[in-house]
Amino acid sequence: MRTKSKEIREKIIEYLFESTRNKGNGKITEEKIASYFKVSRTPVREVLKLLEEEGIISTKRNRGIRVKKLTKEEVRQVYEIRTVIEEFAARNAAKNIKQKEMRQLEEYARKCDEERKKGDIISARKYDRLFHEKIVEISGNWYLKFIEKKLGIFSLFFALSRARAEDRIDPTPYPHKAIINALSTKNPDIASEMIRNHIQWIADYTIKNWSEK
């Protein structure tokens, strides 16, 4: 994916999420999205192609672009896979993590908290994803990193759903400091347990409040 496409990907995801739930916005098209973000249609087309391949959106003639309505079972399955991946990553990261990497995690955690307090969901999610992706990177497994990035798109949708239900305030607790402390112990069991509990809380809350309408 080109640089411009990467820059606007999450913004397009939020735009699609809000537009498909606001019937007054009319039909969503590639041209309409490009005009809204004041970019050419090429990067927009690349993002939409990726989202359609991953089953997040559907495009139908005369109906425009629509976000797929995930069932609670599909949401549960996403979190189930994410738990397995991040537990494994945390175990290995606890063995490999260095002070420089610890400081990077602390920086992501700080920025995430700052953006969340401002009410900027997209920016808060950005730093939260960077935090989790960094742990996967530290684990040293390239394939885990590849899968984690794909799951991150679904996680953004879930965060937007939670925030929408709570009047744009994402109620998800971000126990980044606790996770960093767990990694600093160099104990794989403690690190994986902390990650597992964190993701399980998010999964339970999301599924409980998920609307399939």
Q: Using one digit for the tens of pLDDT, what is the confidence trace for 172-188?
A: 556 888 999 999 999 99
Domain layout of the chain by residue ranges: 3-67, 72-208
**What is the rounded distance in angstroms from the CA atom of residue 168 to the CA atom of residue 143?**
34
Is domain 72-208 in CATH 2.60.40.10, yes or no?
A: no
Round the average pLDDT of the chain to a whole number and report it: 81
Instruction: Tell me if 116 sits within 8 A of 124, measured CB to CB.
Output: yes
pLDDT at 101 (0 to 100): 96
* Tens digit of each residue's pLDDT (9 = 90 or more) over 42-86: 989 988 988 888 777 888 777 788 887 778 898 888 888 889 889
Helix (H/G/I), strand (E/B), else coil: 64: strand
Q: How far apart are CA 32 and CA 26, in angstroms?
A: 10
Instruction: Tell the CATH topology of 3-67.
Output: Arc Repressor Mutant, subunit A (1.10.10)
Question: Residues 143-175: pLDDT tens digits?
Answer: 887 777 667 666 666 665 655 545 444 555 568
Q: Rounded to whole angstroms, how far apart are CA atoms 198 and 174?
A: 8
CB neighbours of residue 15 within 10 Å: 17
- Report d(CA 170, CA 38) in Å as an integer: 28
Phi-psi region of 86 (alpha: psi -120 to 50; beta: other; left: phi over 0): alpha
Please give the sequence-ordered ranges of beta strands (E in DSSP) within the chain, or none if there are none. 57-60, 64-67
pLDDT at 116 exceeding the cut of 70: yes
Write down the pLDDT at residue 192. 94
> Tokens in use for 140?
């040293």
- Specify the pLDDT at position 191: 94
Rounded to 5°, the CA angle 196-199-205 comes to 135
Tokens of 152: 């991150």
Q: Which residue has the tokens 């602390």?
A: 106
pTM attached to this predicted model: 0.73
Higher pLDDT, 205 or 38: 38
Q: Pick the closest to residue 2 from 41, 53, 52, 60 (CA basis).
A: 41
Cα torsion angle, 85, 87, 91, 96, sign? positive
Q: What percent of the chain has pLDDT over 90?
A: 26
